[in-house]
Structures are given as C-alpha cells and as structure tokens.
Amino acid sequence: MARDLRGFIKLLEDRGQLRRISASVSADLEIAEIANRMLQVGGPALLFENVQGAEFPVAINLMGTVERICWAMNLNKPEELEDLGKKLALLQQPKPPKKLSQAIDFGKVLFDVLKAKPSRNFFPPCQQVILEGDEVDLKKIPMIRPYRGDAGQIITLGLVITKDCETGTPNVGVYRLQLQSHNTMTVHWLSVRGGARHLRKAAQMGKKLEIAIALGVDPLIIMAAATPIPVDLSEWLFAGLYGGSGVQLAKCKTLDLEVPADSEIVLEGTITPGEVLPDGPFGDHMGYYGGVEDSPLIHFHCMTHRRDPIYLTTFSGRPPKEEAMMAIALNRIYTPILRQQVSEIRDFFLPMEALSYKAAIISIDKAYPGQARRAALAFWSALPQFTYTKFVIVVDKEINIRDPRQVVWAISSKVDPVRDVFILPETPFDSLDFASEKVGLGGRMGIDATTKMYPETDHQWGEPLESDPAMAVKVSQRWSEYGLIDINLQEVDANKFGYEMYCPLPPGA
C-alpha cells in the first residue's frame, strides 16, 4: 500500500469501501449530514468531488469502521493491533530477557525501530505548488461546518507540528482549528498538550512559536499522532513502527520544521504568545456544544500543496464517529501495555457508547479477595489517558467483555451495591463533562462484578449452569441431521431479544 492519502483512497476503492459523490454539495452542514448517516450504519468512505465554491475534493469517513482502521495500519483484523502494543510495551519498560526467545523478540523490536526512523525527501510532492504572503487564502480550503450551532469552519484532521525552541524536540498532535480570517486560525489545545507546552516556553524566551499544519496525510500517521502512550519516542517513529518503514519528511519552505513529504496541503505560520481570539462553540465528542475559549491565534504566511490536492476531514460528536473507531483500535494497542502495568488484567474494553474512555470494562483472573477493587484502582493510574474514566466495571475472565449482554448479567447477578460499588469523590476530571457538579472535578465509580469469595461473602456461591459436555459434542455432530445446518449460530440479531438496534434518522430522511 502506498504510504500516502491517495494510496489509501485507492485501496478503499479497490475493496469496494469508497463512494465518489459527483453531485454538488455544500461544506456548510451538508457534507457532515451525509457522512453522519454513513457513520451510523458503518457505511463506506466518501469522496465529494464537487464541493460548492471549492477547487479541492473532500474526503471523509475514511476511518469510519474498525476494519478500515486496520487496513490503514497494514493489518487485516483488530486482534493484530495487539502485536503493535506488545512492541510498544517492550520499548516502554524493557526487561532483561530470561530466555533466548525473549532476547530474539526484543532484538526484532529494536530492528523494527531502526527501520522506523524517518528519512528526508528533498523534492516533496507537498511543495509542488507554493503560495506565500498575500497569495495565502485559507478560504480556498473546503473546511466543513458540521453543526448549525458551530461558530464557523474548522480543520479537524490536521497534524499540528511544533517544536521546543530550546531543545528542538518536535511534537505532532491532532487539534481542532477554527477559521478566523483568510490567513488566521485559532488552535484549541489543552494546557497539558505538547503544543501548549512549546508555546509557554517560547513565551518565556520572548520568541514566536513556529507552527505547521499538515493536511491530507497517510491515516496511519494520524493514528500515530493520536496515540498518547508515554514512550520516549517521536510520533514520526511511532508511525514508522506502525507502518513497518520510516515516514518520509520534508523541511518546510519558511520554517525550521518537518512535515510528511506526501501531505496534500501544508500551512506554515507563527503564534505570537499572548495573542488570542475567542474559539467556539463547537459540537464535541461528548455529544454537546462546548464553550467559548480564548485560544492562540496562528498567522499563516505560506501555503504549499500538491497538484490537485484532496482535503481530508472529519468531525466530532456522539458516537459512532471516526474518532470512536480510532479509539477502539487504540484500545487494542493499549491492551498489552496495560497487562504489563497491571498483571492481573486479562483484557479491557472501552465501549464506543461510553465515548471510548468514560467507562472501562476489565476482566481479571481472580485469585484473592479484594482483587477487583485493586485492579480498578490500578487501572485509573496505569496510563494518563485513563485519568478521566468515570466508571470501571471488573468482571471474571470467563465474561466476554465485548458482549454487553454478558456484562449486564455479571453486574446483575454478582453485585451487591452496598458491598461492591465504591466511589472516589472530587478527583481531577474532564472539563467537558457537564455531568460533573464542579468544572474540572468529578467522582469515579468502581463496580466489582466478579464472583465473590470468603471473606467477601459468608455464603457459598452457586454453581453456574452449563451444558453437559458430552451432549454438547453429540448435538454438534448431529446438527446437519436435525436439518438446521442453514442456521448460522455465529450471527446474533440483537433486535430479536428486545433491543432496538437501529439508526435514528432526522425527520424527513
């Protein structure tokens, strides 16, 4: 697969997972409305070739299913993502190998790191067209406005690249940007993010912060930039590890920064510390509009792009959205790292419906009383991205944590709310969570849905019901004889069990 956006679009088209839309559409609300309907049903990626008032086509929903996320990472199924997590776990906390096989595995990972080092492209496609000064017009980019209450047009899938003005260490993040004028945008980032730290340091040194925005990059690089794993490696190296070979970088035309050479569009600018404008409101991942916040203002003085560039975008909101699919994939990558941090955890799952981080279901191989509570507390402190997880449900290893029916059964049959629910009040929390009484502070709940043992309970736990093993084998062998071979026991229609699994469409749809 070609390591750029165009190569991925071709791959999706070849596999029947891309629709080209030739009808005239508006970037204001219409593209997002169409894409949202595709996201609700796991539909194909979309390439809008005729956007009103725009010279560039718009690609959206490229990462709208877990399957397509896997393809972007040169994999075939989600389970393979855990192999990436094993590599990162080895790099994060390397341990002296005790066996020859462990030494060989660690050697393979180090070799992968060498292959993953980025290289330099001196004739990058992203600089086929160069616009500077008064030629820069951000309004030529067909930025979308997803919701009617949004303050304006936004960039959502741009790589925001800055570097520490003292050490030269780069940071690559994915932050929302709001169009303010033909050559300015505000960037919305949390104070703990790398870009914000670089801006504070630039302010201390009395310097402007150089900033580049790379649009339309290989989705694999976006996944690398969105991976908040505390390993002392650059996002470029992450992308190389994910893809199996190094990312080609190019030096910006006017900045001392590097960007992916195959980017569709690159914006080059600076931030003057202290210069801000109101940013927002916008629809966010919680499913509500966020607030208005003074955010750093970027002045762009250079824009480069490929010939006939493609603009890649997405938008936030209540799941399913592309960000939720990315989170599901990252969940798989985290799993080996979490097992390394908390040894009793067998598996964990962050349901998309819980915004991919608000609720976690973890399974453990329970060996002693109180272990479920210990596992929940350890989970909250294992990785920084779990700080804002509100609910942790702990179940036995036999429970399929990705089957909500089994999880609800475990909670209903194994939990005494007085004994098995514990709450931590007023902990640091997500400021976007409107459920919290105080901004930035909120409670967390742990639920022990494991089988209880003494002294957790004083009475004998019941014996679970299960099929007779011999009869189960006999029935399997005679299944075709019963005339039931046409019934696929692996496919379950949740609607037949009282659930209402459907995609609610707006009036008139």
60 Cβ contact list (under 8 Å, min separation 6): 31, 35, 45, 46, 48, 144, 312, 313, 314
Q: Which of 4, 28, 279, 284 is catalytic?
A: 284
Identify whether the C-beta of residue 468 lies closer than 8 Å to the C-beta of residue 477. no
The beta strands (E) that lie in 3-123 are given as 18-21, 45-48, 58-60, 119-120
Residue 186's DSSP bridge partners are 178, 297
259-289 burial code (b ≥16 CB/10 A, e <16): bbbbbbbbbbbbbbbeeeeebbbbbbbbeee
**Residue whose tokens read 């019901």:** 465
Identify whether the C-beta of residue 434 lies closer than 8 Å to the C-beta of residue 348. no
The encoded tokens of residue 374 equal 């210990």
Its sign, for the CA torsion 12, 17, 21, 26, is negative
> At what angle are helices 81-92 and 100-116 packed, to 10 degrees?
100
Identify whether the C-beta of residue 329 lies closer than 8 Å to the C-beta of residue 70. yes
273 Cβ contact list (under 8 Å, min separation 6): 199, 200, 202, 203, 207, 208, 209
> At what angle are helices 322-341 and 371-382 packed, to 10 degrees?
120
- 3-state SS, residue 101: helix
The two beta strands, 265-279 and 209-215, are: antiparallel
The encoded tokens of residue 145 equal 């406005």
**Residue whose tokens read 């005239």:** 24
The encoded tokens of residue 156 equal 């959502």
Annotated catalytic, 430? no
Catalytic residues: 284
